[in-house]
Amino acid sequence: GDVFTYDPGFTSTASCESTITFIDGDKGELWYRGYPIEQLADNSNYLEVCYLLLYGELPNESQLKDFVARVTNHTMVHEQMHNFFRGFRRDAHPMATMVGVVGAMSAFYHDSTDIGDPWQREVASIRLIAKLPTIAAMAYKYSIGQPFVYPNNELDYASNFLNMCFSVPAAKYTVDPALAKAMDRIFTLHADHEQNASTSTVRLAGSSGANPFACIAAGIACLWGPAHGGANQAALEMLQEIGTVDQIPEYIRRAKDKDDPFRLMGFGHRVYKNFDPRAKVMKESADEVLDLLGIENNETLKVAKELEKIALEDEYFVERKLYPNVDFYSGIILSAMGFPTSMFTPIFALSRTVGWISQWKEMLSDPQNKIGRPRQLYVGADKRDYVPVANR
Ligand code: CMC
């Protein structure tokens, strides 16, 4: 029969050609369309980066203005979606709610599900980027029993998200511009990361011709796992569980023990065998945000920094080239901003949506595109005859 290459976990199989994101795992470099992530994190902003990822170049002033206007125009969700949210249990994890609601977008926006029509593809893309913050904020409000807050189109993308999460009708809430900037930076750092598990899921789902809302829902479902986007929640919960610096050695010991399933969350990466450049930016941001909020001596940040230091000097982690990844410090910032841990992965999901869409669009316009269909090495039973139940 046919001979296939066996590559569990796809560690050495390129599934596509892409012009979007480049990672050099040995050097610890990450570029979006050629621009280093550090430069974008310092000088750009999320919507500009969205434009860059989607269309390949940085926008000029009028292109950016037009793009921002188009996204802003689509921030509201269909009013009937409010009822859809109400069908979920209050105590549902916001990611569970998001998988469902985003999947349901193809029922609410079926006028942009024809993937053969470039205009519909464009509208669906803008709708997803515009509505994901609204949906994530609604999932949060629902989970804490507060009323949904409508988007406010006078606010920028990040401020609007913070406002939808933290404002209540009873009290005036003003978004701190410095916090909005930190939020925007977190969105930017998560915007794309080439062919990771959730992006590959989106591409595979999309390769069958499924509509973009269904594909993004599949991506969100995949992102949720603790080995992927769910690691940001798991990492902060781990740091909180460690609690104090003196407890670190015990957790390091457990992480190295092959009979203990425990792993240091927010540590290690399939591609980076060096510092994750996003973790470096995030670490600086954590210091800035805590400073800004006047939080001194944050025990969790202290534990994180000490844990990083001890791990980076430990032979086990050095040998395996395990460094902090994007999820290691992000939770400290989000938590200081007031988000519960259950909102960390939804924030990752809304940030990554643009990456998923950019990759999905790239795939559809690739002449080499065909349905994704991995093969297998069959190692099951040989051909045998059915035995009636009475004879078994
Ligand atoms: N703690 C302890 N040991 C680890 C860790 C860790 N966090 N990560 C990897 N190892 C060990 C692993 O046990 C293995 O050791 P050995 O060779 O002795 O069996 C070796 O390092 C290689 O690990 P692997 O599991 O073969 O590597 P992988 O490329 O399949 O997994 C990973 C990558 C990110 C899933 C893994 O490092 C991990 O589970 N990390 C913790 C979860 C995490 O932080 N995930 C977030 C990834 S970053 C972005 C995102 O959110 O998606």
Share of the chain above pLDDT 70, in %: 100
**CA separation for the pair 290, 292 (Å, rounded):** 5
Of the CA atoms within 13 Å of residue 61, those in its CB half-sphere come to 0
- Residue 138 pLDDT exceeds 80: yes
Identify the active-site residue in 74, 93, 193, 269: 269
Which residues make Cβ contacts (< 8 Å) with residue 101, sequence separation at least 6? 81, 84, 85, 135, 138, 139
pTM of the prediction? 0.96
Q: Where are the domains of the chain?
A: 231-337
Atom of ligand 1 nearest to the CA of 11: 29
Decide: helix, strand or coil at residue 328. Answer: helix
What would the DSSP string read from start to end of 237-297? HHHHHH-SGGGHHHHHHHHH-TTS----TTB--SS-SS--HHHHHHHHHHHHHHHHTT--S
The answer to whether residue 327 is catalytic is yes
> Which residue in 148, 142, 172 sits closest to 75, CA to CA?
148
pLDDT at residue 283, as a whole number: 93
**What is the distance, to the nearest Å, from the Cα of residue 296 to the centroid of all Cα atoms in its chain?**
29
Tell me the per-residue pLDDT of 175-214, one tens digit each, with 9 for 90 and over.
Answer: 999 999 999 999 999 999 999 999 999 999 999 999 999 9
Q: How far is the CA of 375 from the centre of ligand 1 (A)?
A: 25
pLDDT of 1 over the 70 cut: no
Q: Average pLDDT of 109-124?
A: 94
- pLDDT beyond 80 at 253: yes
Task: Give mean pLDDT, residues 113-142.
Answer: 96
Dump pLDDT digits (tens) for 44-57: 999 999 999 999 99
Give tens-digit pLDDT for 71-109: 999 999 999 999 999 999 999 999 999 999 999 999 999
**For residues 188 and 49, is the Cβ–Cβ distance under 8 A?**
yes
> Domain spanning 231-337: which superfamily?
Cytochrome P450-Terp, domain 2 (1.10.230.10)
Q: Which residues form ligand 1's pocket by a CB distance below 6 Å?
A: 9, 196, 227-229, 231, 255, 263-270, 320, 322, 325-327
In angstroms, the CA 129 to CA 135 distance is: 11
pLDDT tens per residue, range 338-391: 999 999 999 999 999 999 999 999 999 999 999 999 999 999 999 999 999 999
Which atom of ligand 1 is nearest to 230's Cα?
Answer: 51
**78 in catalytic set:** no
